[in-house]
Amino acid sequence: MDATTTRPAEGAQDRGRAFAFTGTWQEFLPIALTNLLLTIVTLGIYRFWAKARERQYFWSRTRLVDDHLEWTGTGKEMFLGFLMVFAALIPIVLLLVFAARLVTEGNDLGKAVGIALFLLIYCGFFYMAGVAALRALRYRLSRTYWHGIRGGSDDGGWGYGVQYMWRTWLTALAFFVPLPWAQTRLWNARFNKMSFGQHRFHADATAEGLFKRWLLLYAVIGVFVAVFVLIALAMPKAGAQPDMNDIMNFGMGMVIAVLVLYIGLPIAALAYYAAYYRRVAGATSIAGLRFRFTAGTADWLLLFLGHIGLVIATLGFGLLFISYRNYSFAVRHLDLEGEIDVAALAQSSTRAPTDAEGLADAFDIGAI
Amino acid sequence: MERGWLYDGATAVRHEIEVAAEGEAVLIRYADGGTSKVPRARLFHVDTRGEWEVYGHIEVDGWRLGVPGAAAAGLGPLLPPRRRYGGWIDRIGLARALVAAVAVSALVIFLATRFPGWVAPYVPRSWEENVGGPVMASLDGRYCHGPGGDAALRKLASAIAPGAGDLDIRVVDIGIVNAAALPGGHILIFEPLLTEAAGPDEVAGVLAHEIAHVERRHVTAAMVRQLSFGLFVTLVGGGTGANLETFLSARYSRGAEAEADADAIAALERARISPGGAAVFFDRVARRERRLGAIGAGLSYISTHPEPALRARRFLASAGGRNDWKPSLSPEEWQALVDICRNDPARR
């Protein structure tokens, strides 16, 4: 008799989580090493195939309820996708060179046209970065299979690019204070265009409550500035001979200021992103199943301290395992609540994209 | 018949099935008794998941057949093998692929090292001028023309290279000890190089080096290299490519510098100007760099110039054993050159 529904409690052994990572570093090591070797001897071109092999391993060691995921993307398609985008960017770069010459050598009209061209191309790049983010996510879902079913999207990201552009600019104009608002809305906009099987993702994350964490960063900068002002006030008046005490105080003050900035700022950023990912994952669902992401600030901190410790202890070779640790961290903290009705999960009708992650690669941005 | 499972690609339902080989096809029997046949040529290997060998169907999106590992061997000697490193690497094997890749990469790097030198002489001067001209123009107002200074500079240049007449050599009032050759036959000498120099021979050595850069068209070659191999490798090769390019371009640059040094030594000897002056100059640079200590030695791998101490030794070695050197400038000419900025009426 065929199973038509699967429940996390039935399939998953560890603490009843829907997702589990079953890879081991011993299995991944030969993959990472041969990837590195092949990438070096091919002047870096193998990196597309290396990425495909890496993902294929990660996905195949990610169990969702009763079966593992499968990555079907290939190095060849990522390479071709990159070349496609690269070819499309050449005329734009030539236009940029032309604009530069207009500005440096043209008359007043030429200069004005040159500057207008610059602005236009700058906006264009900004727009394309947004388009690229959506297309990269679409590509990843379209190559991700579970129970023979894949995800995808029929949206080309053209509308998303516009939204990305104005929300980011508005945020920058307001000194980045509304960043949580922009990020959650953009997350919703991306995921509401995505589907798995015939089901649409649904995301309705709000920034409520996230602002407190985000403003922590401003608080850290405020403390830094305050310490600096105190140092300046504590300095002896001009002309007076500074004594040993003044110098000690000055040194201590500087140390505190730098500690506040270099330790406080990353931790505040982690605290924000921990809350952000919990929020957006928790607000994302598909076919009545709700995602959950459970990593707290301390978990993130341990992840990054672990990265640093590993790289130092292995004299740099640990760099090979950064992607492994990041991926397994994400899977270990991801959960899906509800019952999957496999009989009602039918194949995706979305078109499988052929541009892969070319655009995202060209702009050097991530997908999530 | 062997037990197996199947996802048909239409829904996510996992079908418990039985499989058997039947001629050139795989026979699948469902739990309800129905059967279907898939020709072996339609199957491809997807993955090994625990005890299961997983196969896909080239025509059905998401179709996956799981067969126990042991049974798979009996089922299909004709089933395609596992993909591992990607297409052609799997076909020829990892070891052979590595050797082939090293050979091709070595050839590419060799061509990338030689090709710019072959092409550079055919790049028209007017193209070079498009690059060098604007740079020279951007320094307008900082050039020095104190009385007698330019004449001394021209005398020095034509002593080193008889054909140096069409070179544009200028002193610029910018506070670094340096000199530069720009595309289009322009040579810049920064003022402190003159004021720090002990005598005209030092400047002659540096000038001979820059003239060699112009005559060998090193800057043009470096640009050709940057725009062909450099651009390709950093874009397509990503991070690894960018690191490699940093290393190779520094090596290429050191090669060009060494070549310019050798040309300079030959030119100075022809002009009977003592290379000892240039040796003193590089010795001073070396002493300044020595303060960097071990870091300096490490940096020599990514440095664009050869180690200064080594350059000083080379110039010194060529100076040894001869004493028929001619003074490159008279004391008056030298003073006019040193004071070219200080005495420039337009620069007060």
Please tell me the pTM assigned to this model.
Answer: 0.83
pLDDT at residue B99 greater than cutoff 80:
yes
Token pair in block for residue B238: 């990503």
In the stretch 181-220 of chain A, residues with CB closer than 8 A to chain B read 197
pLDDT at residue A111 greater than cutoff 70:
yes
Whether ipTM exceeds 0.90? no
pLDDT confidence bin for B294, thresholds 50/70/90: low
What pLDDT was estimated at residue A229?
85
Q: Is A45 in CB contact (< 8 Å) with chain B?
A: yes
pLDDT at residue A29 greater than cutoff 60:
yes
Instruction: Give Dmax (Cα) for chain B.
Output: 110
pLDDT digits (tens, 9 = 90+) for B330-346: 999 999 999 999 988 88
pLDDT digits (tens, 9 = 90+) for A167-209: 999 999 999 999 999 999 999 999 999 999 999 999 999 999 8
pLDDT at residue B167 greater than cutoff 80:
yes
pLDDT confidence bin for B241, thresholds 50/70/90: confident
Residue B14 has its nearest CB partner, among A38, A145, A147, at A147
d(CA A326, CA A307) in angstroms, rounded, equals 9
What pLDDT was estimated at residue B289?
65
What pLDDT was estimated at residue A307?
96
pLDDT confidence bin for B162, thresholds 50/70/90: confident
Least confident of A60-74, B75-89, B101-115, B184-198: B75-89
pLDDT at residue A321 greater than cutoff 50:
yes
Q: Is A233 in CB contact (< 8 Å) with chain B?
A: no
What does pLDDT average to over chain A? 88
Residue B62 has its nearest CB partner, among A39, A40, A149, at A149
Q: Is B82 in CB contact (< 8 Å) with chain A?
A: no
Q: Which chain B residue is nearest to residue A67, measuring alpha carbons? A: B49
Q: Is A148 in CB contact (< 8 Å) with chain B?
A: yes
Handedness of CA B6, B8, B13, B16 (dihedral sign): negative
Establish, for the pair of chains A and B, how many residue pairs have beta carbons separated by less than 8 Å. 120
Identify which of A62, A38, A33 has the alpha carbon closest to the alpha carbon of residue A49.
Answer: A38
pLDDT at residue A329 greater than cutoff 90:
yes
pLDDT at residue A8 greater than cutoff 90:
no
pLDDT digits (tens, 9 = 90+) for A281-317: 999 999 999 999 999 999 999 999 999 999 999 998 9
Provide the 3-class DSSP secondary structure of residue A172: helix
pLDDT at residue B284 greater than cutoff 50:
yes
pLDDT digits (tens, 9 = 90+) for A229-240: 887 777 766 666
What pLDDT was estimated at residue B292?
57
Token pair in block for residue B165: 């007449």
A367/A351: higher pLDDT: A351
What does pLDDT average to over chain B? 85
The gap between the terminal CA atoms of chain B, to the nearest Å, is: 100
What pLDDT was estimated at residue A213?
94
Q: In this complex, do A37 and B235 lie within 8 Å of one another by their Cβ atoms?
A: no
pLDDT at residue A9 greater than cutoff 50:
no
Least confident of A298-312, B206-220, B288-302: B288-302
Residue of A31, A41, A340 to mutate, interface with B, max B Cβ within 10 Å: A41
B297/B208: higher pLDDT: B208
pLDDT at residue B227 greater than cutoff 50:
yes
Token pair in block for residue A41: 């001897």
In angstroms, what separates the C-alpha of B143 from chain A's closest C-alpha?
20
Q: Is A5 in CB contact (< 8 Å) with chain B?
A: no
Q: Is B111 in CB contact (< 8 Å) with chain A?
A: no
Instruction: Tell me the H-state helices in chain B.
Output: 69-75, 87-92, 94-119, 125-138, 149-160, 191-196, 200-216, 218-225, 231-236, 238-270, 276-290, 294-299, 308-319, 331-338
Cβ atoms A330, A53 nearer than 8 A: no
B87/A108: higher pLDDT: A108
pLDDT at residue A13 greater than cutoff 50:
no
The arrangement of strands across the sheet holding A284-286 comes to A70-71, A144-146, A149-152, A195-196, A199-203, A284-286, A289-293, A334-337
Instruction: Tell me the chain A residues in contact with residue B87 when contact means C-beta distances shorter than 8 Å.
Output: 76
Instruction: Tell me the H-state helices in chain A.
Output: 8-11, 25-41, 47-60, 75-105, 108-142, 158-173, 179-191, 210-234, 244-259, 265-282, 297-313, 322-332, 358-363
What pLDDT was estimated at residue B51?
85
pLDDT at residue A354 greater than cutoff 80:
no
Mean pLDDT (whole number) for A24-52: 93
Instruction: Tell me the chain B residues in contact with residue A74 when contact means C-beta distances shorter than 8 Å.
Output: 86
What pLDDT was estimated at residue A33?
94
pLDDT confidence bin for B186, thresholds 50/70/90: very high
Cβ partners under 8 Å of residue B313, min gap 6? B279
DSSP state of A261: I
Share of chain B above pLDDT 90, in %: 30
What pLDDT was estimated at residue B304?
75
